[in-house]
Amino acid sequence: MHILIAGPDNARPFLEKLAAAIPKGGADVACRYDLDRPSDYDKWADTDILVAFARPCDRRDMDLAPRLGAIILPSLGFDGVDIDAATARGIAVANGHVIENFETVAEAAFLFMLMSLYDIHEAQARLRLGAIRTGPPAARMLKGKTIGIIGFGNIARALVGRLEGWGARTLVSSRSPIAHPGGGVIRCDLDTLLANSDIVLPLVPLTGETQGLFTKKRLLSMKRGALFINLSRGAVVDEAALCDPEVIGHLGGIALDVFEVEPLPKDSPLRHHPKAILTGHEIAHTQENLTALFDMALKNILSAVAGDAMPTLLNPASGQVSG
Using CA atoms, how far residue 19 sits from 24, 32, 286, 302, in Å, is 10, 11, 21, 11
Catalytic residue among 32, 37, 281, 285: 281
Is 59 noted as a catalytic residue in this protein?
Answer: no
Using CA atoms, how far residue 198 sits from 92, 150, 224, 323, in Å, is 42, 14, 9, 42
Is 281 noted as a catalytic residue in this protein?
Answer: yes
Residue 59 and residue 31: Cα distance in Å, rounded? 22
Catalytic residue among 262, 271, 282, 288: 262
Alpha helices in 169-251 (DSSP H): 190-196, 216-220, 239-242, 245-250
Catalytic residue among 233, 239, 260, 273: 233
Count of C-beta atoms within a 10 Å radius of residue 162: 15
Amino acid letter, 152:
F
φ and ψ at 194, to 5 degrees? -65, -35
Is 2 noted as a catalytic residue in this protein?
Answer: no
Collapsing DSSP to helix, strand or coil, 202 comes out as strand
Residues acting as catalytic residues: 233, 262, 281
